[in-house]
Amino acid sequence: MKYLFLALAAGVFLMGCNSNMAKASKNTTTDKSSENLKPKQIINITEEQQLLKFIGPNNQTYILRTTDNFETAELSDQSGKTYRLKRAVSASGLRLANSQGVSIHFKNGEGILELIKDQPINVTEVKP
């Protein structure tokens, strides 16, 4: 009787392993077919400047300019100061920062701007 239960348990275990392997092979074939659908690298990309305008407290305006899809950008304020920023790691949204502590992090039209490290300013994107 012990051997019967042991054989039955081993059979159930092996059937479970087999079904997981079938699912894994389906996923790999789906991944390979989806790779074929992805567009190849585009070589001739025209540089187009993108501009985002933000408004902060007291109607302060900030303009963020980029030509490389926000890998790098220039942030300028009303006083004419310009800050060069590079893309930084963020969990969600887009974050640009530099080594002097200036950064902007925005998502869905809302953002946080730091012109001085650890002094955040809430900003809102202005749609044209």
CATH number at residue 98: 2.40.128
Q: Pull the structure tokens for residue 59.
A: 């109607």
pTM, two decimals, is: 0.61
Q: Answer whether residue 115 is part of any domain.
A: yes
Same domain, 66 and 103: yes
Query: What residue type is 122 in one-letter code?
Result: N
Q: Answer whether residue 44 is part of any domain.
A: no
In terms of C-beta density within 10 A (0-12 exposed, 13-18 middle, 19 or more buried), how is residue 121 classed? Answer: middle
CA distance 51 to 74: 10
pLDDT digits (tens, 9 = 90+) for 55-86: 999 999 999 999 999 999 999 999 999 999 99
* Number of domains observed in the structure of the chain: 2
Same domain, 109 and 69: yes
Same domain, 55 and 27: no
Same domain, 110 and 57: yes
Same domain, 24 and 70: no
Which region among 5-14, 47-56, 104-113 has the lowest average model confidence (pLDDT)?
5-14
- 3-state SS, residue 115: coil
User: Any residues with CB less than 8 A from the CB of 106 and at least 6 apart, and which?
Assistant: 52, 54, 93, 94, 112, 123, 125
pLDDT at residue 46 in the model: 47
Do 85 and 75 contact (CB within 8 A), yes or no? yes
- Range of 77's domain? 50-126
